[in-house]
Chain A
Amino acid sequence: MSAVSPTIGAEVDIAQLTKVYHTRESEDVLALDAIDLKIERGSFVAVVGPSGCGKSTLLSLLAGLTPISDGQITIDSERVIKPHSKIGVVFQSDLLLYWRTVVENILLPIEIKGLDVKKYTAKAEELLNQVGLAGFGKKYPSELSGGMRQRVAICRALIQEPGLLLMDEPFGALDALTREQMIMDLQTMWARLGNTVLFITHGIDEAVFLADRVIVMSPRPGRIDLDLKIDMPRPRQWSRVHEDPTFHGYVRQIREIFEAKGILVAH
């Protein structure tokens, strides 16, 4: 089994990023308020925050899907104004096209970009191997479980070796056991690939476990409340980490912010 060539992670610079939604009732909604964030090459950054804090808006802007109101985003010094080929996106639902086979789904971005599908087919099979779905290429999404479909979605996002991988609560729709497995698998996979990851989640544990840095966002208007560096050695063991006081320290710091903002109310 050939090793996948390591992707060089992209460097992302978010400067004074602002997004205002204009609603019909003429009251503008400030979703993101002048966010400044520099993401180092190959680092794993998690973003946690309550619903409505602008996490998904942030992802949408980074993916080039929504126009920016103010500020700018650059990836490897190129401005992001529309969907960028260096960016792969994994959404909360797998969004696989049910009328295409697994491999055809993975190759969808290649088709859209007009590249040679044949050249990438081997790569697609290789990615399937890496996520533990070897031999599933010709199956249809309806024959796969939720966790397996999400793995295929991850392969699809990785097919062009993106410098930046955006993940919007990718494990949110999965059952708890599958989610735990996927979290561990993601760590292993990322360690091998080395791309920059921006991972949005509601789960504090998940965020602290996976990330080099956890960004905590406040409720609307979205601002960064805390930029927490996670100083724990890798590879991290999900089973051991819950006994680790350092881990709990980080989790507690994040919870305290939520409690202070009234997002989590302790009883």
Chain B
Amino acid sequence: MARVSGFSGSVAVQTEREKNTLKAKRKFRLQQLTERFSALFLAFTLLAIWQIAVPLSGLSEFILPTPLAIANRIANELPLLASHGYITLFEVLAGFGMGVAIGIPLSLLIFYSRAFEKAVYPLLVALQTIPKVALAPILVLYLGYGWAPKITLAFLIALFPIVISTVVGLQSLDKNLVNLVRSMGANEMQTFFKVRLPAALPNIFGGFKVAISLSVIGAVIGEYVAAERGLGYLQLQANSLFDTTLNFASVVAISALGVSLYFILDFIESKVAYKRDSAK
């Protein structure tokens, strides 16, 4: 039944139906919120279980530290983690940068020249199948203990995803779009910059994101094999001193590095490439 307020002001007319609609809307809203934070809820739950299980099981800290202990250590050792972090970051960025600087022109050559494609593609695939872990000691042997082997590893591991995604991105362009701009009198340079490249950007960024995550792995592997600085080196040190908490803390730092770089790329992509509405 409707209840009406005869006076001007705030009271709304509320029928039974409106009340039900409101209820349904609130329920839907709650569902939406739950879904969005469900990953966080799950992570939090798992961490809570970990936190409680360790003292219960009587494991000492050098076997399995608790999440809080790790967090605490991170907070205390921020300068240490940061200084090693910058080293690893530099290696990653340099390796990834090289991957882009060499990978993109390589992709263009593969795209525009069938002969080049047939010659180079198989070699690239072969390179990809060599485990980078196996390459690490060899690189150290020839390149020494400094920056070079880490950057090279980061570069080698990043190259393939960048090239593959870029080539596929360029190749999957609707040919009619090329006809369209040709009919407007565009030359190949214009066709490339106005159509081919923008259309391929989503693929290219996908490749970049994969590549940068892998570059982190490459740099750290390099540091495991031969280093005096860096987060991988820090982790090895912690390991050999049975400082498991710092061990875990380094891993968290490495992970944080990878995730941040990924999201930076995501941000750049949102500014540079228009995101097509995904099929929802």
Contact = CB atoms under 8 A, between A and B. Distances in A.
Interface residues of B, number: 21
A99 B185 contact: no
Given A98-B276, A99-B273, A142-B277, A109 B179 contact: no
B274 A98 contact: yes
A113 interface: yes
Contacts of A64: 183
A177 interface: no
A112 B176 CA distance: 17
A76 to B, nearest CB: 17
28 contacts: A64-B183, A65-B179, A65-B182, A65-B183, A82-B185, A83-B182, A83-B183, A83-B184, A85-B185, A89-B183, A91-B176, A91-B180, A93-B176, A95-B174, A95-B176, A97-B194, A97-B195, A99-B201, A99-B273, A108-B181, A108-B184, A109-B184, A111-B194, A112-B184, A112-B186, A112-B190, A112-B194, A140-B274
Contacts of A99: 198-199, 201, 273-274
Contacts of B186: 112
Interface string A71-98: 0000000000011010101010101011
A63 interface: yes
Interface string B168-200: 000000101101111111100010001100110
Given A97-B194, A97-B198, 4 more contacts: A82-B185, A112-B184, A112-B185, A113-B185
- A: interface residue count bin: 20 to 34
Contacts of B179: 65, 91
Contacts of A65: 179, 182-183
A97 B179 CA distance: 13
Which are the 5 A-B pairs with shortest beta-carbon distances? A99-B274, A109-B184, A83-B185, A89-B183, A112-B186
B57 to A, nearest CB: 54
Interface of B: 174, 176-177, 179-186, 190, 194-195, 198-199, 201, 273-274, 276-277
Contacts, number: 52
Nearest to A108: B184
Contacts of B174: 95
A91 B176 CA distance: 9
A132 B190 CA distance: 31
A84 B157 CA distance: 47
A100 B195 CA distance: 11
A214 B274 CA distance: 43
Interface string A3-15: 0000000000000
A261 to B, nearest CB: 29
Given A93-B176, A97-B198, A142 B276 contact: yes
Among B177, B180, B190, B195, the most chain A Cβ lie within 10 Å of the Cβ of B180
Contacts of A100: 274
Contacts of A85: 185
A63 to B, nearest CB: 5
Contacts of A113: 184-185
Contacts of A93: 176
A218 B208 CA distance: 52
Interface string A106-126: 001101110000000000000
A65 B177 CA distance: 13
A258 B222 CA distance: 73
A89 B185 CA distance: 12
Contacts of B182: 65, 83
